[in-house]
Amino acid sequence: MDQLYHQTNKQIQEVNFNMGHLEKVDKESVHVVENEIQASIDLIFSNLERLEILAGKEPPQKRQNAKLRVNQLKYDVQHLQAGLRNFQHRRYTREQQEREREELLAKTFTTN
């Protein structure tokens, strides 16, 4: 269990690091980076499911602490997931505004 816990924690730190670079990525490769981050988050969630099972199998004196550690990882990864969704929403809104701006600039107006 400890090995999987440390591996999952390291993956969470890597995703957090990649989220920091997401703002600096050019427009063409932002989708690729988002997909990589989402794939990592999905892998972390599957590891957390396994960790929950393993925490339940710990001896009674260690079980509470193990479940607490797994819950902390869950909270961290949910926070990362929300951050990714927030970034995607901001990017989508910004792209929508750019499209609307270009549409207005291309439109020809006539007098009454």
The whole-number pLDDT of residue 3 equals 95
Indicate the length of the chain as a whole number. 112
For the entire predicted model, the pTM comes to 0.84
Amino acid at 86: N
The whole-number pLDDT of residue 14 equals 95
Per-residue pLDDT of the chain (112 residues; tens, 9 = 90+): 899 999 999 999 999 999 988 888 888 889 899 999 999 999 999 999 999 999 999 999 999 999 999 999 999 999 999 999 999 999 999 999 999 999 999 988 888 7
Token pair listed for 26? 């050019």
The whole-number pLDDT of residue 56 equals 92
The whole-number pLDDT of residue 39 equals 96
CA distances, 81 to each of 65, 91, 104 (Å): 24, 15, 35
Nearest to 71 by CA among 61, 60, 59, 79: 79
The whole-number pLDDT of residue 22 equals 87
